[in-house]
Amino acid sequence: MAVAGKNGKVVIGTESDQKVVGIKNWSLELSLDTLETTSLGDDWKNYITGLKEWSASSEGDYEVPVDEKGQAALQEAFLSGATVTVKLFVDEKNYYTGEAYINSLSIEDPVDDVVSISIECTGTGALSFELGE
């Protein structure tokens, strides 16, 4: 079953209603280290799994002055080096969640378009998926 992206959202904090205003898209990347264990004489490479990591990014319209619990809170977390709880909703009920550091915050102010914001975060610890009911 396909899912329409229009119902996604980015939320910070522990409450699901602290939506980050103005976000137009988000992206999540999960990765797993694979460690080679191939021995001399093997014809095929062998691997074991190592550490997992995750990162996320989002982009949208700049709303820092009016979105105190969303964009302004993310900017403050970046400036102070604090972690935030991030929830990336795929639809109204299903989401990925984890603690993250805001490692990049970019604001673009073009003369011929709206001011935009890009936010990147790096997860610290496990990421989980919450299946809504």
Question: pLDDT (tens digit, 9 = 90+) per residue, 58-95?
Answer: 999 999 999 988 999 999 999 999 999 999 999 999 99
Label residue 16 by pLDDT band (50, 70, 90). Answer: low
Strand 83-89 relative to strand 9-12, pairing: antiparallel
Full-model pTM: 0.90
Which residues share a beta bridge with 95? 89, 130
Does residue 5 sit in helix, strand or coil? helix
The DSSP code for 18 is -
Query: What pLDDT is attached to residue 2?
Result: 87
